[in-house]
Amino acid sequence: MQQNERTVNRNERDTDPGADEGRGNDIVAKELHIEDVIAHRQEKALVRSGYRDLLIRILVLGLAVWLILTYGFLITQCSGQEMYPAMKDGDLCIIFRREAFRLMKQEYAAGDIVAYQAEGKRHFGRVVAIGGDTVQIDSTGSILVNGVTEGEDILYPTYVRGDDLVTLNIVQKNTLFVLGDYRTNTQDSRDFGPIPLDSVEGKVISILRRRGL
């Protein structure tokens, strides 16, 4: 008798529409919860991926800037008036480094403004002659390169150092004969001699005036 009652009750539950609806709602709720969990996890994964991509881009950009400033360009401030009026004290200079210059297979030419090291100090000067050229400074304050008057329009006369009124230099290979534009008040190849290429830091490619900063 009891077995029959349990069978009847089970049959009633199986055939009860309310019970089926309740179980269906539970299943739907569980499925929605699982979908929410999956969507939340996917959103977190996307956020982590975005941060990771941003970090990688920042690192790549930082590395590129470091490589450019280490091997490509040098940004420095001009000190002194040795290149006046082309460059003035405090001007900011952008220099194409020697390493990149060599990599591009470029060569220095007369008229280029370069930064170089001499006696432990950075100097700026204009290339007057390169290896193989002859440089002659006469008593009038003019300078002759390979027998021709210097082509650059320099405001100040070029006098020799010391007692000699006339001097003749043959520029050696892998050196540059460099003079400052402020010829009457600067140190340059008249004092240091021709500058070895290994002492040249690079070519000045742009100047930002101090008053414009």
The pLDDT of residue 11 is above 70: no
Confidence of residue 8 (pLDDT cuts 50, 70, 90): very low
> Taking residues 71-77, what's their average pLDDT?
87
Per DSSP, the chain holds a count of helices (H) and strands (E) of: 4, 11
Q: Which whole number is the average pLDDT over 170-194?
A: 93
Task: Determine contact, residues 176/203, Cβ cutoff 8 Å.
Answer: no
Q: What is the pLDDT of residues 108-130, one digit of tens each?
A: 999 999 999 999 999 999 999 99
Average pLDDT over residues 178-183: 95
User: Can you read off the two tokens belonging to residue 132?
Assistant: 């193989």
For residues 3-15, give the mean pLDDT: 50
What pLDDT is recorded for position 21? Answer: 55
Q: Is the pLDDT of residue 61 over 70?
A: yes
- Give the per-residue pLDDT at 15: 53
Provide the 3-class DSSP secondary structure of residue 121: strand
Q: Give ∠ CA 10-12-18 in degrees, rounded to 5.
A: 115
Does residue 208 carry a pLDDT above 80? yes
Give the model's confidence band at 18: pLDDT under 50 very low, under 70 low, under 90 confident, else very high: low
The tens digit of pLDDT for each residue in 21-56 reads: 556 556 656 666 677 777 777 788 788 888 888 888
Helical (H) or strand (E) element with 74: strand 73-77
Residue 2 confidence (pLDDT): 45
Q: What whole-number percentage of the chain has pLDDT above 90?
A: 42
Q: Is residue 172 pLDDT above 90, yes or no?
A: yes
**CB 151 within 8 Å of CB 111:** yes
Per-residue pLDDT reduced to its tens digit, 136-164? 988 788 899 998 988 778 889 988 876 55
The pLDDT, as a whole number, for residue 43 is 80
More reliable by pLDDT, 31 or 83: 83
Location of structure tokens 């009847």? 8
- Residue for token pair 């290979």: 173
Please check whether residue 122 is in contact with residue 178, taking contact to mean a CB–CB distance below 8 angstroms. no
Within 8 A by CB and 6+ apart from 173, the residues are 131, 132
Q: Residue 205 in contact with residue 72, Cβ under 8 Å?
A: no
CA 29 remoteness from chain centre: 58
